[in-house]
Amino acid sequence: MEHGNEGIYIAAGTGNVLHHNSLVRNNNGGVQGYDGGLNQWDDGSRGNYWSDYFVRYPAATHNGYVWNTPYDMTGGAGDKDRYPLVRGFFGLSVRNPIRINSNSEFTFINGVSNPTAAERP
């Protein structure tokens, strides 16, 4: 997601897993993602690429793949990307942000899926 408002905006919804996304220069360099529910922003070892990461966490270090400081999500839930990626995935650019108002909106049609019970942490 690039050059939108928030790259991913979750107004409500819980138990969703979002990872391996590149959130680049959204909201004029401000908030890259918003989470108003309880969701997971990594897969347990890799999270997402955030273009504003080093600005927010200038003292952070990395192992070449993942930063050592979690990325705090904006929103009331206190969620974090525990394993923010050092490098993003580029080539395909999505110009429109993803906005999720409830779990029922997760479908493969709009490119977002809700994990099955077996896939949830």
Q: What is the pLDDT of residue 97?
A: 53
Q: How far is CA 71 from the centre of its chain?
A: 9
Q: What is the pLDDT of residue 113?
A: 42
Q: Is the dihedral of CA 115, 50, 64, 68 positive or negative?
A: negative
Q: Where are the domains of the chain?
A: 1-121
Q: What is the pLDDT of residue 114?
A: 42
Q: What is the pLDDT of residue 12?
A: 79
pLDDT in tens, 27-61: 666 678 888 888 899 999 999 999 889 889 999 99
